[in-house]
Amino acid sequence: MSQDKSTLSTPVAALGRVTLAVLARLGDMFLFFLESLALIFSSPSQFPKAVRQTYFIGVGSVLLILLIGLFTGMVMGLQTYYALSKFGSEGFLGAAVALAVVRELGPVLAAIMVTGRAGSSMTAEIGVMRISDQVDALEVMGINPVSYLVSPKLAACLVSFPILTTFFDLIGIVGGYVTGVALMGGNAGVYISRVQDSIEWGDVWVGYVKALVFGAIVCTVCCYKGYYTHLQQDLAGPEGVSSSTTQAVVLSSVLILLSDYLLTSIFL
Amino acid sequence: MPSVPDIRLENLTVGYEGKAVVSDIDVVLPGGRISVILGGSGSGKSTLLRHILRLEEPIAGTVCFGDHDICRLSKRDMHCIKQRIGVLFQDGALLGSLTLADNVALPLREHTRLSRKRIQEIVEGKLALVGLEKFLDYYPNELSGGMRKRAGLARAMVMDPAILFCDEPTSGLDPVTAADLDQLLLEMHRTFGMGMVVVSHDLANMRAIADFVMVLGDGRVLFQGTRQELESVDDPYLRRFLDRKAEERQGPRVGETAVDASVMKVDCSRYWSMGK
């Protein structure tokens, strides 16, 4: 009888174990984030490191963001123009593109692009340092590895993500203009005035709040995965680093979309 | 010369995830001397070193630097102790993104308020000690294994530590380079008066530098004492280890009738004849 009971409860117990493990991991990541955040201003030597990371994460991603933003805006312009023209409402194209890009697409797509470009490299860099004893070397030199490796990256992400989101928003609106006005023949003045009328400061700030949250998520997840790459079960060495990198990109992207939904429901 | 504390390992059991690798270690590594932790592959030497450096928490027992039980020290106090020790990792563990000069300067930049010029002078001096003064701007991947170890040694020495820990300093080096490194360690010890704890499986390395030896094997401490005492032990395992004699193997041997060598043989002749 007791055997039957345990058999029946096994899937429930397994689900409970997985849930607890996921919650524990997320809690661990949150503590990792708090430690990194607290150590950003731990010493003056953090500033040049943060500047270098900002160059890598921010400046290095500008071209990618401009390209993705332009094409996203162009596709938005094309699809929305087609849909609006069915109702004779082409004049609202500017408002539709601007609101979609500034509120949603800008922060989300910019964050996902930076995850692919810079987040994966953060995980790989820290992961390789971990498996080649470089993290241990920092620790025995009395240098806090989180402070040395993670905090400057977090500072760079918190600075870069809103700026990259701004670039994405601007170039996305330009992309909508290119297709909606230059290619499809819409009215330029109407497009620009609709953009100006529809966007309020509240929309812009929501976009920035999202960008900050996504920056924190990407940096925390990617650095955490690299930092603890040696604790992965059954995977060691380069295979472990590659697995950590994949997990970091996937988890970051999922958390970006999840938190986007949560933030949108809060701010809408 | 700095006062160098003893390192006392008391009832120490080390391992990972609750599984003991070496148990019941009760040893005092004398301060100011060169102690060598010797043992075969997989005997737990590096595991023990990681516990002495508090990179891992012991399963049981304590590690004391002088009067300080490092397993119970706060992060802040441990931070102070870490500034008084230097560690040479097996392959140097230099940061790949920094030049040699930046690697060696790192502890000075993080822990002191010395001027750039003074740091530069110290770095050049330390790299000159290990014969790498011409490689300041090289990156670790541009150096040979021996050079990386010497650079790692310069970095470990840069804060003038009271104790220097070395993990397999001569592994992977040719005999001449290994002997040079032994000589360098001895010179450092004599000049700066620091204590050294060296993990090694290299008998030549042990014979060249050791004052005190601790031998690990079979999950426990097999021997502790001076080098001279070690050379005169009668224990069969230790004798085999010191005389580099192969262990008696059970079961059939290659070439004996019990093993059909032809079963294991791979015919590679067609690869050799390719291209002819």
Same domain, B187 and B237: yes
Q: Do A141 and B82 touch (CB under 8 A)?
A: yes
Q: Which residues, numbered 200 to 259 in chain B, qualify as contacts with chain A under a Cβ-Cβ cut-off of 8 Å?
A: none
Percent with pLDDT over 70 in chain A? 97
pLDDT tens, residue by residue, B23-54: 889 989 888 889 999 888 888 888 999 999 88
Would you state the pLDDT for residue B1?
45
Same domain, B13 and B131: no
pLDDT tens, residue by residue, A39-97: 998 888 889 999 999 999 999 999 999 999 999 999 999 999 988 888 888 888 889 99
Which residue bears the tokens 């119970």? B72
Same domain, B156 and B180: no
Neighbours of A194 (CB within 10 A): 20
Which of B79, B110, B163 to substitute to test the interface with A, most A CBs within 10 Å?
Answer: B110
pLDDT tens, residue by residue, A177-205: 999 888 888 888 999 999 999 888 888 99
Closest chain B C-alpha to A131 CA, distance in angstroms: 10
Shortest CB distance from A45 goes to which of B50, B96, B109? B109
Q: Between A and B, how many CB-CB pairs are < 8 A?
A: 54
pLDDT tens, residue by residue, A131-190: 988 999 999 998 999 999 999 999 999 999 999 999 999 999 999 999 988 888 888 899
Rounded to a whole number of angstroms, the CA Rg of chain A reads 22
Final residue of a structural domain among B160, B177, B192: B160
**ipTM field:** 0.81
Q: Which residues, numbered 138 to 157 in chain B, qualify as contacts with chain A under a Cβ-Cβ cut-off of 8 Å?
A: 155
Q: Do A137 and B110 touch (CB under 8 A)?
A: no
Which of A125, A130, A133 to substitute to test the interface with B, most B CBs within 10 Å?
Answer: A133
SS3 (DSSP) at B265 = coil
Contact by Cβ (8 Å): B208, B222 = no
Q: Long-range contacts made by residues B231-240, C-beta under 8 angstroms, separation at least 24?
A: none
Amino acid identity at B58: P
Would you state the pLDDT for residue B138?
93
> To 5 degrees, how large is the angle CA B77–CA B65–CA B217?
130
- State which residues form the domain around B107: 95-160
- Could you tell me the end-to-end alpha-carbon distance of chain B, in angstroms, rounded to an integer? 69
pLDDT greater than 50 at residue A1: no
SS3 (DSSP) at B222 = strand
Same domain, B147 and B168: no
> To 5 degrees, how large is the angle CA A71–CA A170–CA A117?
60
Indicate whether B1 belongs to any domain.
no
Same domain, B135 and B234: no
State which H helix or E strand residue A224 sits in. helix A201-227
With beta carbons under 8 A apart, name residues in chain B contacting A139: 55, 82
Closest chain A C-alpha to B221 CA, distance in angstroms: 25
State whether the Cα torsion A25-B82-B171-B27 is positive or negative: negative
SS3 (DSSP) at A9 = helix
Same domain, B134 and B178: no
Same domain, B259 and B169: yes
| Distance from C-alpha of B126 to C-alpha of A153, rounded to nearest angstrom | 31
Same domain, B257 and B194: yes
Neighbours of B271 (CB within 10 A): 9
Same domain, B12 and B77: yes
Q: Which residues, numbered 101 to 140 in chain B, qualify as contacts with chain A under a Cβ-Cβ cut-off of 8 Å?
A: 106-107, 109-111
Closest chain B C-alpha to A69 CA, distance in angstroms: 32
Closest chain A C-alpha to B70 CA, distance in angstroms: 13
Same domain, B46 and B179: yes
In chain B, the residue whose alpha carbon lies closest to the alpha carbon of A133 is: B93
CATH number at residue B28: 3.40.50.300
Same domain, B166 and B244: yes
Same domain, B138 and B128: yes
Q: Do B91 and A143 touch (CB under 8 A)?
A: no
Q: What is the DSSP letter of B135?
A: G
- Tally of structural domains, chain B: 2
Closest chain B C-alpha to A133 CA, distance in angstroms: 6
